[in-house]
Chain A
Amino acid sequence: MKKLLKKYEGLLFISPWILGFFIFTLFPISFAFYIGFTDWNSFTAPKFIGLDNYINLFKDPNFLNSLKVTALYAIFAIPLGIISSLTIAAIVNVKVKGIYLFRTALYLPAVVSGVSIALLWRWILDPDYGLINLLLSYIGISGPNWLGDPSWVLPSYVMMAIWGAGGGMLTYLAGLQDIPRSLYESAEIDGANWWHKFRHITLPMLSPVIFYNLVMGIIGSFRKFNDAYIIGGAENQGKFYMVYLYENAFNFYKMGYATAMAWVLFVIILLLTLLVFKTSPLWVYYAGEIQSSKSKKKKTFEKNVFKGYEINRLKGAEINGLKGSEMNRLKGTEING
């Protein structure tokens, strides 16, 4: 008896979380899978309609529009966001008096609530009284009707996203400070200029952070909701995927349709993320290994930030949890490096 208890002791301790997982995660997910195949107004019993929701989705011009708006936004906002975050991080990665003040100021957008930021931007983008058009008017440019002109809606959103780049700055900054000085020093001895150093030391050393931000950026862009829901935009150009999903679920009472949309979004994000993971061996460099995919020869390099020698056997994708089996061999401390 005691032995038995001992065996399940661990499970018993984590049972609240396991139960939570089953009740609040696994069950809703499987239920949602079913709902995606039904016509459900959320009041009366769901009616099974097979694949109709999925078929109708791709015939629905509003759906296709929301997909287009969201994809376009992602294409511009993610790279620009990464570039600006990285640039900001590089700029504030200097040792000057009062640099902490700047870092804090630049990080602020990530702390303030999304709703208040959205309302603030609505004013900044006002064509008549807004800050941007006021500044433009000083240099003789009559600014566009940002959110009111369909062709300027997307640029407005990309601009807002870049303004929030300070949030991403933090991870880059941490990454930058983790790069050993010795690398730069030896490069300088070899006569490298700033570009060489950036291209051949900073970028490769930061690639795991860029990789992380890219994946999070893809997920975040496709799930954009808050500010789009609040400030909208002319002619549906501000109707992002999630906004249209929400509309279907809570304004049109088409819960089955909205759930089908959620699954399509899930598949899109999954595919994109997988794509990024698949390509990661080509450009993501983890300190501690130099990978040549053809010869499959691995050399240890410098001091491994992950400490453990086992990590060398893992590729990027596995570290991030796609293959659990290998991970088990690592102890927590090693992962956290």
Chain B
Amino acid sequence: MKKNFLKKLAAGFLTSILLVGTIGCSNASDSANSNSSKNGKVELKIGTWAGAQELKEFQAIVDKLNKESKDYHLTIQSIPADYYKKIQTMAAAKQAPDLFWLSQEYIPMYAELGVIAPLDDYIKGNPKVNLNDYFEGPLQVGKVNGKLYGLPWINQPVMLYYNKTLFEKSGVELPKPDWTWEDFEKAAKALTKDTNHDGKVDQFGTVIDGWPPIATWVWTYGGEIIDKNGKVRIDEPEAIEGIKMLNKLINVDKVTPTKTQAQNTGGPEMFKTGKVAMFFGGAGDDFEKQVGNAFEIGMTKVPHAKTEATFSWIAHTVMSNNTKNKKVAAEALVDLTNAIHDWKILPPTKSDLEKVEKIRPDKKYAVDIIKESAKMARGFNNQKQQNELDNAIWQELYEPILLGKKSPEKAAKDAAEALRKILGQ
């Protein structure tokens, strides 16, 4: 009797599992098949790494667009973790979202592999896009072999944040927009000290631990890592000059905590807790909010040498090559990208730059300098093998310099060799 009951129970349990399974399956296939549905609108998916609060804000933007458009209906596909791994898998199965975000370094590879489609033909004549309004830097990273593969929605240049309170306490002159690297070095040296006299330095001028990118120095000294034509130039004299300055700051002046110190505590944390006087951060970073009243923050351009330049974190919205109705998808891409310009700072267009104050009132004090930085901001001359190249630069150049293991010349030479090997030059 008892045995029988148990049998029935097990059978019931199994059946319910099966049922749940089939229901789950049928649901999944339903949503995959409905490409064009409700009231004749084209169904489009937009892939994003936005999660949590950011996702909520993004959802509001998408809802508004859906209401306004007669042609498309957007659904968000949120991938907050392992974004590129998941996009890779989806694209391999030809299941990539119709539109998705890509950080600059991925664009050439996705373009050359045919995962994303060029936009030129679809945005031509669309009154909502004015390519001339875009800053050169952010637009440039979307171009591969002369075609435009995406529209940038953010242009976040690296800027110099400083702890005003710390400067004033140490009697050091505040950073100015026209600073050269020598001025920076002088101030950093004055701010690096052992405040509690225990024999260990506990306050640093700046923090360099793999961030900011090596380009910060190479570009401002008039050099290039890889130029627009894909030629490796990191072993040329200008680039080496920049690397020499980096090396001096780290190994001669010692104005930065060691790599391990910085990476374990986190560079931004060291700045927020007043252990570091100057920090290279993105223009949109919310240090002001995080620091509160602990100390006063200032912002200026990164120092220069021969020329002004700063690395910018740039991301684009791109269109999958597998999307069925490219014309409508491109229209949605334009609308969406334009809408994000009202949401994220910095917008990559000249006309939208006026909105910075409105989007982020906490940045009001620095709006003018942010605008100036936007003009000189640029991305890498990304290549198809960008991840591998970045890895080689870190391995052959940046890390050895951080650890004081190579001279700038040797590091540049080794890095150039590794880069050329990857690019087959």
B-binding residues in A (CB < 8 A):
41-44, 122-123, 126-129, 145, 147-148, 150, 234-236, 247, 250-253
Whether the pair A234, B399 counts as a contact (CB closer than 8 A) is: yes
6 closest A-B pairs by beta carbon, nearest first, are A148-B260, A43-B113, A252-B388, A42-B92, A251-B387, A126-B264
Contact of A123 among B88, B114, B259, B264 (CB under 8 A): B264
Which B residues, 29 to 64, have Cβ-Cβ distances below 8 Å to chain A?
none
Query: How far is A138 from B178 in the complex, measured between Cα atoms in Å?
Result: 48
B395 within 8 A of A: yes
Which B residues are CB-close (under 8 A) to A128? Answer: 261, 264
Query: How far is A127 from B260 in the complex, measured between Cα atoms in Å?
Result: 8
Known: A42-B92, A43-B113, A235-B403. A252 touches B385 (CB 8 A): yes
Which B residues are CB-close (under 8 A) to A129? Answer: 264
Known: A41-B113, A234-B403. A247 touches B259 (CB 8 A): no
Whether the pair A235, B399 counts as a contact (CB closer than 8 A) is: yes
B391 within 8 A of A: yes
Whether the pair A253, B391 counts as a contact (CB closer than 8 A) is: no
Which B residues are CB-close (under 8 A) to A126? Answer: 260, 264
Most chain B CB atoms below 10 A, which of A43, A126, A127:
A43
Known: A129-B264, A235-B403, A252-B387. A44 touches B258 (CB 8 A): no
B109 within 8 A of A: yes
Whether the pair B391, A247 counts as a contact (CB closer than 8 A) is: yes
Which B residues are CB-close (under 8 A) to A235? Answer: 399-400, 403, 405
Query: Shortest beta-carbon distance, B396 to chain A, in Å?
Result: 11
Known: A235-B403, A252-B387, A253-B88. A44 touches B260 (CB 8 A): no
Which A residues are CB-close (under 8 A) to B391? Answer: 247, 251-252
Nearest chain A residue, comparing its CB with the CB of B405: A235
Most chain B CB atoms below 10 A, which of A44, A126, A253:
A253
B91 within 8 A of A: yes
Count, chain B residues at interface, CB 8 A: 24
Extra A-B contacts (19), CB below 8 Å, given A234-B403, A247-B391: A41-B113, A42-B92, A43-B91, A43-B92, A44-B113, A44-B114, A122-B264, A126-B260, A127-B261, A147-B260, A148-B259, A148-B260, A150-B403, A235-B399, A236-B395, A250-B85, A251-B387, A252-B391, A253-B88
Which B residues are CB-close (under 8 A) to A250? Answer: 84-85, 88
Which A residues are CB-close (under 8 A) to B113? Answer: 41, 43-44
Contact of A148 among B88, B258, B388 (CB under 8 A): B258
Query: Shortest beta-carbon distance, B371 to chain A, in Å?
Result: 35
Which B residues, 380 to 425, have Cβ-Cβ distances below 8 Å to chain A?
385, 387-388, 391, 395, 399-400, 403, 405
Query: Shortest beta-carbon distance, B83 to chain A, in Å?
Result: 12
Query: Shortest beta-carbon distance, A226 to chain B, in Å?
Result: 15
B115 within 8 A of A: yes
Query: How far is A41 from B395 in the complex, measured between Cα atoms in Å?
Result: 23
Query: How far is A145 from B258 in the complex, measured between Cα atoms in Å?
Result: 10
Whether the pair A145, B260 counts as a contact (CB closer than 8 A) is: yes
Most chain A CB atoms below 10 A, which of B89, B114, B388:
B388
Contact of A253 among B109, B259, B261, B403 (CB under 8 A): B109
Query: How far is A113 from B114 in the complex, measured between Cα atoms in Å?
Result: 40
Can you report 29 A-B residue pairs in the complex whose CB atoms are below 8 A from each other? A41-B113, A42-B92, A43-B91, A43-B92, A43-B114, A43-B115, A44-B113, A44-B114, A122-B264, A123-B264, A126-B264, A127-B258, A127-B260, A128-B264, A145-B258, A147-B260, A148-B259, A148-B403, A234-B403, A235-B399, A236-B395, A247-B391, A250-B84, A250-B88, A251-B391, A252-B385, A252-B387, A252-B388, A253-B109
Nearest chain B residue, comparing its CB with the CB of A248: B388
Query: How far is A122 from B259 in the complex, measured between Cα atoms in Å?
Result: 14
Query: How far is A162 from B264 in the complex, measured between Cα atoms in Å?
Result: 23
Nearest chain B residue, comparing its CB with the CB of A128: B261
Query: How far is A129 from B260 in the complex, measured between Cα atoms in Å?
Result: 11
Query: Shortest beta-carbon distance, B144 to chain A, in Å?
Result: 15
Binary A-proximity of B251-283 (CB < 8 A = 1, otherwise 0): 000000011110010000000000000000000
Query: Shortest beta-carbon distance, A298 to chain B, in Å?
Result: 46
Which A residues are CB-close (under 8 A) to B88? Answer: 42-43, 250, 253
Query: Shortest beta-carbon distance, B414 to chain A, in Å?
Result: 11
Query: How far is A43 from B403 in the complex, measured between Cα atoms in Å?
Result: 38
Nearest chain A residue, comparing its CB with the CB of B82: A250
Binary A-proximity of B103-124 (CB < 8 A = 1, otherwise 0): 0000001000111000000000
